[in-house]
Amino acid sequence: MKKILVVDDEKEICTFFSYLLRKKGYEITSVQSGREALAIIEGEKFHLALLDLKLPDLDGLTLLKKIKEKTCRCQVIIMTGYSTVKSAITAMQLGALDYIEKPFDDLNELEKLIDGALSTRSCAVDADLQETAAETGIVLGKSHHMLQAIDLARRIALKNVTVLIEGETGTGKEVMARFIHNCSKRAGNPFIPINCAAISETLLESELFGYEKGAFTGANRTRKGFFEIASNGTLFLDEISEASLSTQAKLLRVLETGEFMRVGGETVYKTDSRIIAASNVILDEAVTKRVFRQDLFYRLDVLTLKIPPLRERKEDIPIFLDYFLKRFTEGKDVEVQGFAQETVDILCTYDWPGNVRELVNLVQRLVTVVDEPQILPRHLPDKVLTQQVSHPFSVVINNSAAVEDMLEKEADIWVERLVKQLQDRQSLDLNRIMENFTELRNHVARSLVKKALAETLGDRKAAADLLGVTPRAIKYLYLGK
């Protein structure tokens, strides 16, 4: 029999759940304080906990953490009033499965949520997640932080809350917004993206709110705005930090009341569109600089999803390369069949300032211009190779074989670049190149000796043993004597 723990300081709530859930065959334990709950979870394990956030003796988030520490497989559903929705979402970020708002108006939805939490359907959920992600264009990689963000986005999609997505340019903020829309109950209604940075202030207002005939020169007819068109759907406001303070004030009114007026009009219209906003700057910093309204920021900051840049999830790069290569080659008459491993290694050390968008564009370009079965290092643009050469020892070295392998790869990259210069009829100074290699060799040797001496607290013999050379060599390399 499935065991459920109910924690709520209101006796009526505990009685209600005991009556409702015992009829369904569940074993119920109910308590009215956080300390009682802590005492019970010390000796018992539960399949599900229904937890009120506002307890008189203990913070609900602290209790959630304790429950997860004691029984990590116990699902937790948060019970909350409207005023604590943001805290409930924080609880979901800490591991809660979902939250429900008091009072419980829809008993069918409540029972469905509890039954779903207690059923074994992880495989089905994973399949649904993969299907929706594929339809949206999200590539499920290996990055733990990114997978957490995607899972939270899927769970929060069913809630009618505003979402703020933060991330650098090219990280996929619009793709994430579309994913949230597709996972929500609004999926059958319009998803309308608008880039606030690409439209002037006056045009942005007329696009968002619409305008009446004669509102300005050229307004020959009445036109609906995106808030009307996207009603019951999702409106994605990209680069919202670029909206003017005047437009921000009008957006705030819509978020607070769900009401707006068309430009040049006097009639008040209602909208039920869900707002997902995105920014490539940190909005609370923009608030500090007084370029973004604080009250609007608080309205948007119900749930903030942070998408990490590609350089912080490099384990995903090989997956992205394979995915987009297939996308650009399947069913097309092209020579390219894959990436050489050396090329993948180089691309994994590149910083990707343009993030996923830059990677997609690079793969598409390489598929177009390369007429060989494999994409080799020499096919990569100079900016990628230049960065790789500027960080020649980015590989972790564990043994001499790894050193030889790394140096061989680095040498191949240098040779590829030099050969490319010759092919482009650019002159080379071979003597200067050899001098540079000698300087590099001496610099590496001195750096390693210095590090070895630091590790051995200046013991020259111990440092020599560490590097596999004689103490005399240490003196010569370090002091030049």
Q: In angstroms, rounded to a whole number, what is the distance separating the alpha carbons of residues 461 and 455?
A: 12
Domain boundary among 410, 426, 442: 426
Q: Please report, for the domain that includes residue 418, its CATH number.
A: 1.10.8.60
**Cα 448 from chain centre:** 38
Q: Please report, for the domain that includes residue 16, its CATH number.
A: 3.40.50.2300
Nearest to 100 by CA among 30, 158, 163, 47: 158
DSSP classification of residue 309: P
Give the C-alpha distances (Å, rounded to integers) separating 239 from 87, 148, 168, 170, 475: 26, 23, 11, 12, 58
Q: Please report, for the domain that includes residue 244, its CATH number.
A: 3.40.50.300
Print the domain residue range for 467.
429-481
Mark whether 302 and 324 lie in a shared domain: no
Tokens representing 391 are: 């960080």
Tokens representing 258 are: 């769900």
Nearest to 227 by CA among 197, 262, 182: 262
Radius of gyration for the chain, computed over Cα atoms and rounded to the nearest angstrom: 30
Q: In angstroms, rounded to a whole number, what is the distance separating the alpha carbons of residues 377 and 371?
A: 14
- Confidence (pLDDT) at 394: 42
Mark whether 285 and 375 lie in a shared domain: no
H-state helical runs in 143-199: 144-156, 173-183
Q: Could you tell me if 276 and 139 are in contact, meaning their C-beta atoms sit under 8 angstroms apart? A: no
Q: In angstroms, rounded to a whole number, what is the distance separating the alpha carbons of residues 137 and 330?
A: 16
- Confidence (pLDDT) at 408: 64
Cβ-Cβ contacts under 8 Å for 24 (sequence gap 6 or more): 111, 115
Q: In angstroms, rounded to a whole number, what is the distance separating the alpha carbons of residues 231 and 282?
A: 28
Mark whether 182 and 272 lie in a shared domain: yes
Mark whether 406 and 444 lie in a shared domain: no
Q: In angstroms, rounded to a whole number, what is the distance separating the alpha carbons of residues 77 and 113?
A: 9
Mark whether 301 and 154 lie in a shared domain: yes
Please indicate, yes or no, if residue 130 is contained in any of the structural domains.
no
State how many domains the chain has. Answer: 4
Please indicate, yes or no, if residue 127 is contained in any of the structural domains.
no
Domain boundary among 252, 286, 306: 306
Q: Could you tell me if 163 and 180 are in contact, meaning their C-beta atoms sit under 8 angstroms apart? A: yes
- Confidence (pLDDT) at 430: 74
Please indicate, yes or no, if residue 82 is contained in any of the structural domains.
yes
Please indicate, yes or no, if residue 129 is contained in any of the structural domains.
no
Please indicate, yes or no, if residue 126 is contained in any of the structural domains.
no
Mark whether 421 and 433 lie in a shared domain: no
In the chain, which residues have pLDDT < 70?
82-84, 120-128, 387-428, 457, 477-481
Q: In angstroms, rounded to a whole number, what is the distance separating the alpha carbons of residues 108 and 158?
A: 16
Residues recorded for the chain:
481
- Confidence (pLDDT) at 277: 96
- Confidence (pLDDT) at 213: 92
